[in-house]
Structure 1
Amino acid sequence: MAESALLGSEKGPKSPGSPGSPGSPGNPGSPENQGSPEKARGKSSAAPGSGLLKGLIRTARPKQWVKNVLVVAAPAAAGELFSRHALVQVSLVFVLFTACAASVYLVNDARDADADRAHPVKRHRPVAAGVVPVPVAYSVGIVLAVVAPAVAAFVCSPLTSALLTAYLGMQFAYCISLKHVLVVDLAVVTTGFLMRAMIGGLALGIPLSRWFLITTGFGALFMVSAKRYSEAVQMAGKAGATRALLTEYTVGYLRFVWQLAASVAVLGYCLWALEEGGLPHTSVLPWRQLSMVAFILAVLRYAVFADRGTAGEPEDVVLRDRALALIGVAWLAMYGLAVANW
């Protein structure tokens, strides 16, 4: 990029050993550093289609696909996850929801390409960097948005297709305007997580309990508001380097939201765990009640990162914190035993 360093302004030949001479190892133009023309061109020598495909995959945010694992929540809660039919349906729903989410990312990045080019981090996104042309991002995003609900209507159920369509409509509205509306932006992102948790149940015709919806909804709000809180803390005094809406929230308000959401999520889970449900208890231990301990510990552990302002990337917190992972495994074991009534 710094061409002046290569052109120079020397008036006479330099000795081979001098720092600026063509044979010097420190000279960018030397054979050792420049290499063959193919190496100098780097990625430009690769097939254009390959670079475009990689750019499209990067724009689809593979790192975010872990969120779509929530589609197993309702079938798992109902104890109907491990039949062959359920596994096939849940796998299909995961793929279809991932396609819808990728559609939203593609359209969002295409729409925000000009603004992203002025951002210190977002300018490296494939669409903003020119790796994926804006028309291509729009086209692929729209195709995915049409195909995914259509496929869902045939291979899953009309309700599944309707939920995917509602998700796409809500997310596109968020990209266009709702992300600039206070509180509504939190509600939209939270609802996206709730839809992920609901769609597995809809695909299999499983009734969704009120405790499931309350716990999942407020658990999602807890993580979303903690993410916003962390962004606000880290970007304090750098209003031009982050989303504009954060400047309209106060840190105290966002703290209040994630604390309130965490409290309601814990309360909803405890009410589920303590509810008898009219079923005979044949399990060795009261796994439903014991799972409350692990659930509360998980919320408290995650709140540590939220309070520090380091929960800006929820998937990193969940996947990289060993203590939280161990608590999660313990909770899954107890929750599974409770659902199976062992």
Structure 2
Amino acid sequence: MTAQPPVLPAPELQPVPELQPIGAPAGAARLGWPRAVLRTSRPRQWPKNLLVFAAPVAAADRGRIEGVGGALVAFVAFTLASCAVYFVNDVADAERDRHHPVKRTRPVASGELAERHALAVAVACVALAETGALLAADAGLAACVTGYLALSFLYCATLKHLPVLELTMLASGFVLRAIGGAAAAAVAPSGWFVLVCSLGALLVAISKRYTELAALGPAAAGHRPCLRRYTPQGLRTAQRVVSVAMIGAYLSWALLNGSRWAADWHLVTVLPLAAALLRFDRLTGRATMARVEDLITRDGPMLGCELVWLMLFVAAGTA
């Protein structure tokens, strides 16, 4: 009879430690939520809130810029308000963003940031923006912030699906920043100033839609339904018409604003402004997925035109 081999006890299974992503630091999990909140708040978009300084700078008299403190309050208030809009927008567009080649990496769309957390942060940003505007500035700024939030939330809910109207809603956010900065600085902006800001904001809005449609083609309508009503040729033509109108409004503002000496300096600033608009037209003409804001703030020749314009504009204010 053959001897049976001894039965050995099964080795005790040890729990497998949870694996971390390759290259991820040990504290990545702890930093994940704050990083997701910061990414959703879009820090790269915050510079657009510098528009609140436009009216105080434009009204500068012999180098004196009045109301800088109020403008700083407006900058913080609009930064918080715009962050709230980004959080709400990402929740509303989460499902659509998951099918977008770039937006699918957004924290809400990718699941990195829970939707309820995004909405809670949005509520906190709204409360801080409104409270700060009321306590540190005046009712005018608070009204502009409230108007901006109301229009932006309406835009996120329904208006962004209505062609043409959605462009005006998108542009209105920029105009309200400029008017809010003027209210906080106690500066009365001229009608020409408001018109220049409005046309510039509309130009940016049209350019956003053109670059989306040109880069994604027919698939663009799947990510933004209103694009079905636009054509690349129509948007391109509108962009150039608005650019010419903006130059005309700027010339009118330069001729009618301030002293004769300051007006001469302001007329000189039309040259770098026109060069910047031509460069912007060329950049947006490329089928690119780059953000329009990046084209304005990260292109070397564009930054050069903007710097020359700013230097001449400041010189006019000190004349």
1:255-276 residue CA offsets vs partner (Å, 9 max, x unmatched)? 1221121111100111122236
Q: Work out the CA distance in 2 between the residues paired with 1:204 and 1:238.
A: 45
Q: Does the 8 Å CA contact 1:201/1:207 hold for their aligned counterparts? A: yes
Correspondence 1:7-26 to 2 at 5 A? none
Distance 1:49 1:156, change over 3 A: farther
Q: Does the 8 Å CA contact 1:71/1:200 hold for their aligned counterparts? A: yes
Task: Report the equivalent of 1:20.
Answer: none
Task: Report the equivalent of 1:199.
Answer: 180
Q: Work out the CA distance in 1 between the residues paired with 2:240 and 2:249.
A: 14
Say which SS state the counterpart of residue 251 (structure 2) adopts.
helix
Say which SS state the counterpart of residue 213 (structure 2) adopts.
helix
Q: Which amino acid aligns with 1:203?
A: A
Q: Does the 8 Å CA contact 2:221/2:228 hold for their aligned counterparts? A: no
Task: Report the equivalent of 2:150.
Answer: 169
Q: Which among 135, 143, 151 is matched to residue 124 of structure 2?
A: 143
Q: Which amino acid aligns with 1:303?
A: D
Distance 1:275 1:219, change over 3 A: same
Unaligned runs of 5+ in 1: 1-35
Q: Work out the CA distance in 2 between the residues paired with 1:85 and 1:295.
A: 24
- Say if 2:80 is the partner of 1:102: no
May I ask how many residue pairs the two structures share in their alignment?
303
Q: Percent identity?
A: 32
Q: Which among 101, 109, 119 is matched to residue 128 of structure 1?
A: 109
Q: Work out the CA distance in 1 between the residues paired with 2:310 and 2:241.
A: 24
Say which SS state the counterpart of residue 308 (structure 1) adopts.
coil
- Say if 2:276 is the partner of 1:295: no
Correspondence 1:251-266 to 2 at 5 A? 251-266=232-247
Aligned-pair CA distance for 1:40: 4.8
Q: Does the 8 Å CA contact 1:227/1:312 hold for their aligned counterparts? A: no
TM-score, normalised on structure 1? 0.81
Say which SS state the counterpart of residue 206 (structure 1) adopts.
coil
Q: Does the 8 Å CA contact 1:229/1:309 hold for their aligned counterparts? A: no
Q: Work out the CA distance in 2 between the residues paired with 1:311 and 1:130.
A: 23
TM-score, normalised on structure 2? 0.86
Q: Work out the CA distance in 2 between the residues paired with 1:82 and 1:204.
A: 16
Return 268-277 or 95-104, whichever deviates more.
268-277
Q: Work out the CA distance in 2 between the residues paired with 1:146 and 1:37.
A: 40
Q: Which amino acid aligns with 2:314?
A: G
Aligned-pair CA distance for 1:323: 1.6
Aligned-pair CA distance for 1:59: 0.5
Distance 1:90 1:82, change over 3 A: farther
Return 268-277 or 257-266, whichever deviates more.
268-277
Task: Report the equivalent of 1:318.
Answer: 296
